[in-house]
Amino acid sequence: MRAHVLIVEDDKAISELISLYLRKDGLSMDVVDTAEAALDVFGRAEFDLVILDINLPGMDGFEFLQKFRIISTIPIIIVSARAADEDKLLGLGMGADDFITKPFSPRELAARVRSQLRRVGYDSAGKKMDEIGFGPFSIIRSERRLEREGKTIPLRPKEFDLLMFLASHPRVPFRPEDLYQNVWGPNFGDVSTVGGHIRRLRKKIESNPSAPCWIQTVHGFGYRFDPDGGTRCG
């Protein structure tokens, strides 16, 4: 499965240039010229990354970013002529993953896109990786299976979904509410179930669940997955 990118850009020449370079990397994409259209198309199709302009007609990119982060955690790269540090800090603080200033190098943008896609489980050719490895463990996406050195570790369905989501977003901290929204959905039940599933996962993959290496607690915020946790813990 190829990565699918949503380009939100009202300058047709720029969106065509971006599309040209991303197609060379084997990616598929949709292009819209307003934030309103972006929110609409996102409700009808699945995307893996958003390239976002700030100066859009109608709703601007910052307002879109604020609304979008309520419903999705996929990577967002801002590409904007607004070069002030305040704009960069605002965009990154509101949840963007990267910020590129116009005029930009299309090759650099393509490289940044590849970097963000690798974070969420795509290889350098833009294909979804079926296996995610960390330490002695392997998550096999298509088989919904966790292995340790070839031996299957039984997981409940939501335990697998939670581990898969965290491992697909390495080092990104998530609040319990964010994990609940993405793994269980908005209308499932009690957000406290996240903590219970984290505890059960730690018992299955951590050498010392009270001092976890892989699924780490971000104090006062939530949890993150560290694929290098085994090295850090020695």
Residue 171 exposed, middle or buried by CB count within 10 Å (0-12, 13-18, 19+): exposed
Q: pLDDT tier at 114 (50, 70, 90 boundaries)? A: confident
Single-letter code of the amino acid located at 124? S
Q: What is the pLDDT of residue 56?
A: 94
**In terms of C-beta density within 10 A (0-12 exposed, 13-18 middle, 19 or more buried), how is residue 80 classed?**
buried
Instruction: Provide mean pLDDT across the span 1-20.
Output: 91
* Count of positions (residues) in the chain: 234
Q: Report residue 15 as tokens.
A: 């969106």
Asked if 146 contacts 137 with a C-beta cutoff of 8 angstroms, the reply is yes
Block residue for tokens 């979904």: 161
Give the model's pLDDT for residue 219: 94
Provide the pLDDT confidence category of residue 234 given band limits of 50, 70 and 90: low
What is the average per-residue pLDDT within 126-141?
81
Q: CB under 8 Å to 65, separation ≥6 — which residues?
A: 52, 76, 78, 91, 94, 95, 96
CA angle 21, 26, 30 (to 5 degrees): 70
Report yes or no on whether pTM surpasses 0.85.
Answer: no
Q: Please state the rounded mean pLDDT for residues 48-75.
A: 91
What is the percent of the chain with per-residue pLDDT over 70, rounded to a whole number? 92
Res 183: pLDDT: 87
In this prediction, residue 142 carries a pLDDT of 79
Whole-number Å distance between alpha carbons of 187 and 34: 29
Residue given tokens 């581990």 in the structure block: 163
pLDDT computed for residue 133 by the predictor = 87
When mean pLDDT is compared over 1-10, 16-25, 40-49, 164-173, the highest value belongs to 16-25
Instruction: With cut-offs at 50, 70 and 90, classify the pLDDT of residue 232.
Output: low
Using the predicted structure, report yes or no on whether residue 127 has a pLDDT greater than 90. no
230 has a pLDDT exceeding 80: no
d(CA 41, CA 120): 21
Domains of the chain, CATH where assigned: 4-119 (3.40.50.2300), 131-233 (1.10.10.10)
Q: What is the Cβ-side half-sphere exposure of residue 162, based on CA atoms within 13 angstroms?
A: 27
Q: State the burial class of residue 9 (Cβ atoms within 10 Å of its Cβ: 0-12, 13-18, 19+).
A: buried
Mean pLDDT of 154-181: 90
